[in-house]
Amino acid sequence: MGNVSSTDYIIVGAGSAGCVLANRLSADPSNRVTLLEAGGPDRSIFIHMPAGYFQLMRTGQIDWGYNSLPQPGLGGRRLHVPRGKVLGGSSSLNGMVYVRGDASDFDHWAQLGNRGWSYSDCLPYFRRSEQFSGPANPARGRDGPLKTTRNAIVHPLAKAFVEASKQHGLPYNDDFNSGADQEGVGPMDCTLADNRRYSSAVAYLRPALARPNLSVITRALVSRVLVEKGRAVGVEYVTGREKHTILADREVILAGGAVNSPQLLQLSGIGNPDALRAVGVTPIHDLRGVGRNLQDHPAFSVKQRCTQPISYYPMTKTLNAAVSLAQYALTKSGPAAGNGMEAMAFVRTRPGLAAPDIQYFLMFLMYEDSGRRILQEHGFMLYYTLQRPESRGSIMITSNDPGVAPGIDFNYFEREIDLVTMREAVKIARDIFAQPAFDPFRGGEYGPGPDVKTDRQIEEHLRNNAFSNYHLSGTCKMGRDADAVVDDQLRVHGLDGLRVVDASIMPTVVSGNTNAATIMIGEKGSDLILGHHTAELAESA
Domain spans, the chain: 3-118+147-528
In this predicted model, which residue has the larger pLDDT, 372 or 247?
Answer: 247
Which of the residues 48, 168, 471, 533 is marked catalytic?
Answer: 471
Of 306, 352, 238, residue with least CA distance to 446:
306
Residue type, 426: V
Q: Are 294 and 394 in contact (CB under 8 A)?
A: yes
CATH architecture of the domain with residue range 3-118+147-528 = 3-Layer(bba) Sandwich (3.50)
- H/E element holding 245? strand 242-254
User: Considering the chain, what is the average pLDDT of its residues?
Assistant: 95
**Nearest-angstrom CA–CA distance, 471 and 90:** 10
d(CA 153, CA 169): 19
Q: What is the mean pLDDT of the segment spanning 165-181?
A: 96
What phi and psi, each to the nearest 5 degrees, are found at residue 26? -85, -5
Mean pLDDT across the stretch 230-237? 98
Whether 52 and 44 have beta carbons less than 8 Å apart is answered as yes
Confidence of residue 2 (pLDDT cuts 50, 70, 90): low
If one compares 494 and 328, the residue with the highest pLDDT of the two is 494
User: Smallest Cα–Cα separation from 139: which of 172, 98, 194, 110?
Assistant: 98
d(CA 385, CA 383): 7
Of the pLDDT bands very low, low, confident and very high (cuts 50, 70, 90), residue 539 is very low
Q: Quick count: other Cβ atoms within 10 Å of Cβ 250?
A: 15
Top pLDDT among 84 and 339 is at 84
Query: CA torsion 304→305→306→312, rounded to 10°?
Result: 80
Distance of alpha carbon 17 from alpha carbon 125, whole angstroms = 12
Q: What is the mean pLDDT of residues 87-100?
A: 96
Q: Vertex 517, ends 300 and 367: CA angle to 5°?
A: 25
Region 197-226: what's the mean pLDDT? 98
Q: Report how far apart, in Å, the C-alpha atoms of 235 and of each of 172, 188, 207, 288 are.
A: 50, 40, 26, 22
The reply to whether 80 belongs to the active site is no
432: Cα within 13 Å, side-chain hemisphere: 35
In this predicted model, what pLDDT tens digit does every residue of 457-481 receive, in sequence order?
999 999 999 999 999 999 999 999 9
Rounded distance, CA 521 to CA 501, Å? 7
Which pLDDT band holds residue 263 (cuts at 50, 70, 90)?
Answer: very high
Residue 388 scores a pLDDT above 60: yes
| Amino acid, single-letter form, for residue 505 | I
332 by Cβ neighbours in 10 Å (0-12 / 13-18 / 19+) ranks as middle
Per the annotation, where are the binding residues for FAD? Answer: 86, 94-97, 222
Label residue 300 by pLDDT band (50, 70, 90): very high
Annotated binding site: 86, 94-97, 222
Cα(463)–Cα(414) distance, integer angstroms:
12
Whether the Cβ atoms of residue 125 and residue 524 lie closer than 8 Å to each other: yes
pLDDT value of position 1: 52
Confidence (pTM): 0.96
Question: Does residue 85 carry a pLDDT above 50?
Answer: yes
Residue 131 has what DSSP assignment?
Answer: E
- pLDDT score of 536 more than 70: no
* Cβ proximity of 202 and 53 under 8 Å: no
526 vs 82, 105, 389, 513, 533, CA distance in Å?
Answer: 27, 21, 29, 22, 10
Q: What stretches of 448-502 adopt beta strand conformation (E)?
A: 467-468, 498-500
Number of Cβ atoms within 10 Å of the Cβ of 401: 12
**Gap between the Cα atoms of 227 and 498, Å rounded:** 9
- Which amino acid type is present at position 431? D
- Long-range contacts for 487-495 (Cβ within 8 Å, ≥24 apart)? 488/113, 488/114, 488/115, 488/116, 488/117, 489/528, 490/525, 490/528, 492/232, 492/265, 492/270, 492/287, 493/287, 494/230, 494/285, 494/287, 495/227, 495/230, 495/231, 495/232, 495/270, 495/285
Confidence at 67, pLDDT banded by 50, 70, 90: very high
DSSP symbol at 214: E
Band of pLDDT at residue 534, cut at 50, 70 and 90: very low
99 close to 173: Cβ distance less than 8 angstroms: no
In angstroms, rounded to a whole number, what is the distance separating the alpha carbons of residues 396 and 66? Answer: 13
Check if the beta carbon of residue 425 is closer than 8 Å to that of residue 301: no
In the predicted model, is pLDDT for residue 318 greater than 80?
yes
The average pLDDT across 334-354 equals 92
What is the chain's percent helix, strand, coil content, to nearest 5? Answer: 30, 25, 45
The pLDDT of 316-339, averaged and rounded, is 86
For residues 42 and 77, what is the distance between their CA atoms, to the nearest angstrom? 32
